[in-house]
Structure 1
Amino acid sequence: MKKVLHRIQISTVLGLSLFLFALLSNPLFAQEETAASADVSTAATEEAGGGDPVKGKQLFNQYCAACHALDRKMTGPALANVETRLMEEEGLDKEWFYSWIKNSAGMITAGDPYAVRIYNEYNQAAMTAFPTLSNEDIDDILAYTAAPPPAPAAQTDAAATTATGEGDSSGLSNEMVLGALALVFGLLVIMLVLVNKTLRRIAEANGVDLQKEREKKIPIWKAFAQNQFLVFVTVVFLLLASAYYAYAWMMQIGIDQGYAPVQPIHYSHKIHAGDNKIECKYCHSSARTSKHSGIPSLNVCMNCHKSIYEYKGNPEGPSAEDLANGYTNEFYTNEIKKLYKAVGWDEENQRYTGETQPVEWVRIHNLPDFAYFNHSQHVSVAGIECQTCHGPVEEMEVMYQYSPLTMGWCIECHRETNVKLADNPYYEKIHNELSKKYGVEELTAAQMGALECGKCHY
């Protein structure tokens, strides 16, 4: 009867454990995702008086955002509620907006009082004319400037909900899940104890003395120590393995592949070189003519960021990985503020203050002093792409050292890379002589003498 009783107990505990596991794994209890309502844009459209703020936002970003913002002065004035403000304060009408946007210079020449005043206030620079915009397009833009600020993105709300643990009422809280898992773990422990007791009773019923069996066993370390051959083989193996790993560790000294330091201003190559397709040599211009690629001047950054004062992100919104790492639109906007502080740029008045601060960038790629490398020879003469050595820079959120930059890595590249001969008169005579010597049509860098010690060490 005891054996049957324990079997029933074990079956009961196992059944409860499996039931709770299936319950927790049921997708019906997964937290539901929230979705943004599409009625917001419809209500904004009705309030805007005929224009479509959704279409207006697209047109605003395409034609206006380079010089205007809704809530602050940039190259031009702030445009939030501009139609209502100017109608009430200046007595202007819709026709004035149509004429101004399509031909601002014409209105200034005609002597329109408000047009002349704006022209003088903003450095006497006439606004770009947009004759291709229809009246409906302008209505849409004005509707966008009059629309209330959009609600936060659904994806951001979902991320915040996940972080605070306040999910939808149909989901399970973290406390409930942890409590259920603790209960399952406790039931498994009880089951193992019952199984152990049952096996002991079975052994005793069959006349097995567990104490004597335990005393007969030799500890494994004693059995190992008594086998001299096994000890000798183990010692030899450990010595060889230690020498191998010590040599491998010493060979990695000075190799910083994967090194990705934290920079004083976060610069995303993924956004600049990837999303916006900015040419590498636009910022690293000295790579064409100098040994060094150079650190771009902050004035190069300000060529764009005089007008780009905040990051609005991709239309699809930030990815889950970016949100997990904290790469939100607000994060990137704060990094732009650091740039302004470094160059001494006054956002409000759109001018330089002269109060600058140095930016202490952390160097990533660093060759030993005894190794010579010339960027211009590889970029301008050899025509090698930046990604050959620096990896897929356009995909890197944080810049890191992609290649090992070791001597063996350079030599292997020289052995495999053919010399660019087209439109390159520098190599014509050398190529004609060496192609006869080696009997080949195309020469590698190694055949041109790139493996000579003095090329890189002198």
Structure 2
Amino acid sequence: MKKVTYRNQISRVLGISLVVFLLFSISIFAQDEAAAPSSGDPAKGKALFNQNCAACHALNRKMTGPALANVESRLSEDEGLDREWIYAWIKNSSGMIKSGDAYANKVFAEYNQMPMTAFPTLSNTDIDDILAYTAAPPPEPVAVADTAVAEEGAGNSSGITNELILGALVVVFGLLVMMLFLVQRTLKRIAIANGLDLEKMKADQGVPLWKAFAQNQFLVLVSAIFLLLAGAYFAYGWMMQIGIDQGYTPIQPIHYSHKIHAGDNKIDCNYCHSSARVSKHSGIPSLNVCMNCHKSIYEYKGNPEGPSKEDLANGYTNEFYTGEIKKLYQAVGWDEENQSYTGESHPVEWVRIHNLPDLVYFNHSQHVTVAGIECQTCHGPVEEMEIMTQFSPLTMGWCITCHRDTNVKVEGNEYYAKIHEELSKKFGVEELTAAQMGGLECGKCHY
């Protein structure tokens, strides 16, 4: 009986020890999992960062919010905060501020008491990916310019340049002139050696052609009339170009690329030139409109593949565009470090490109809002222009041609309902041009 009792006690002790060991192992595993959370995917984190965080945060500089490079390790070392705190902060920052959390209130006070947008839809895995992106080392810079220069050098591996070709042509031309001079002198020597009288030969050739022409009064009169008519034609053509600035491309004090803004980034023209929809003038955008985006966009990163050879040849590198953004900051008085305005602004003296005579009346809103005409109709493919240029001649004939060829959009516009009905009967057509609706009357465009 005692042996059985001892065996039962031993079995019971072993069972309890096994259970305790399993529970201890599970607790240790759970602690390890909590201490070492998922590392996350930096590639997915970059996409999430650009989508949710980039408007207010950058990795290596303060913006609306603090810099986020290595934010987890900095919070852990400096403040003793773990990843669970970061989860709670990202998902509900306002709640943490109201709860009295010391560091939450410290950040809230430091950044002008602007609460961070809550992201309750981000899962812990999403936040892990974002933190992995912020902890990843920055990529090595790619020497795009050197590569482009090397490729350009490889394309001219023969070493022949335009200057060298031009120099060779000049040398060849000089040799030809020298050869003709030597041939002429040699022929004279041969003629003299054979006893030929060169002066007598010149006299036997008769009256020179220009003297014979001068003696014929009819030919002189016809030639004079022809020259006068030709001169008048070219003078008229030259004078008709006075005041026409088609192709005018001034250099602005701050380089603004319509190709990047309207082309690459698809920014609507009316976002910057908002007055074109409601006013006579399209207006010059205020620098505050620029700062709506450039508070956050402080450098130009450009195409991930780097600038093209054409851009490099023109000096349009990422550093160049970033320098122009710095000019904008200086003009508007923006302190990058403190993310605030200094109050020391400087006006930008933009150079006007499109300028109609004072006697001409042109209303942007009538064309943009009422007629629904696209900006490119008059201003050309601005989304492809690195430097803005005057695309159209903006002459009276150009405007009249447009009014004669363009049908007015009257559908859904009660203003034109009665006019369209009456004029359609008068002209016997369904669609009316601007000319048929009075677009050729002098008072339409002239004061």
TM-score normalised over the length of structure 1: 0.74
Distance in 2 (alpha carbons) for counterparts of 1:338 and 1:449: 47
From 112, 130, 144, the counterpart of 1:123: 112
From 145, 149, 156, the counterpart of 2:138: 149
- Letter paired with 1:416: D
Aligned to 2:28: none
Secondary structure of 2:392's partner? coil
1:234/1:96 CA distance change after superposition, 3 Å:
farther
Distance in 1 (alpha carbons) for counterparts of 2:401 and 2:102: 71
How large is the RMSD of aligned CA atoms in angstroms? 4.1
Aligned to 2:347: 358
Q: 1:377 and 2:363 equivalent?
A: no
- Letter paired with 1:289: V
Secondary structure of 1:125's partner? coil
Alignment of 1:170-189 (within 5 A): 174=159
What is the CA deviation profile of residues 402-422 of structure 1, one whole-angstrom value per residue up to 9, with x for unaligned ones?
111100001001101112211
Contact 1:51 1:141 in 2 (8 A): yes
Q: Determine which structure has more spread, i.e. the larger CA radius of gyration.
A: 2
Aligned to 1:254: 243
From 371, 395, 398, the counterpart of 1:406: 395
Distance in 2 (alpha carbons) for counterparts of 1:86 and 1:135: 18
Q: 1:306 and 2:295 equivalent?
A: yes
Q: Give 1:303 shift.
A: 1.4
Secondary structure of 2:391's partner? coil
1:53/1:293 CA distance change after superposition, 3 Å:
same
Alignment of 1:31-430 (within 5 A): 52-159=41-148, 174=159, 222-223=208-209, 226=212, 237-430=226-419
Listed as ranges, the gaps of 5+ residues in structure 1 are: 1-48
- What is the aligned-residue identity percentage? 72
Aligned to 1:11: none
Q: Give 1:242 shift.
A: 2.6
Contact 1:225 1:231 in 2 (8 A): no
Aligned to 1:445: 434
1:192/1:265 CA distance change after superposition, 3 Å:
closer
Q: Give 1:97 shift.
A: 3.3
What is the CA deviation profile of residues 397-452 of structure 1, one whole-angstrom value per residue up to 9, with x for unaligned ones?
11111111100001001101112211211122222221111111111111111111
Q: Give 1:234 shift.
A: 6.0
TM-score normalised over the length of structure 2: 0.76
1:336/1:214 CA distance change after superposition, 3 Å:
farther
1:421/1:106 CA distance change after superposition, 3 Å:
same
Distance in 2 (alpha carbons) for counterparts of 1:182 and 1:291: 53
- Letter paired with 2:375: C
Contact 1:310 1:336 in 2 (8 A): yes
Q: Give 1:365 shift.
A: 0.7
- Letter paired with 1:72: R
- Number of paired residues? 402
Distance in 1 (alpha carbons) for counterparts of 2:194 and 2:339: 88
Distance in 2 (alpha carbons) for counterparts of 1:113 and 1:152: 39
Distance in 1 (alpha carbons) for counterparts of 2:316 and 2:286: 24
What is the CA deviation profile of residues 92-121 of structure 1, one whole-angstrom value per residue up to 9, with x for unaligned ones?
333433443344344444444323322232
- Letter paired with 1:286: S
Contact 1:59 1:137 in 2 (8 A): yes
- Letter paired with 2:442: C
**Which deviates more from structure 2 when the two are superposed, residues 83-92 or residues 241-250?**
83-92
1:302/1:226 CA distance change after superposition, 3 Å:
same
Contact 1:68 1:78 in 2 (8 A): yes
**Which deviates more from structure 2 when the two are superposed, residues 74-83 or residues 398-407?**
74-83
1:184/1:342 CA distance change after superposition, 3 Å:
closer
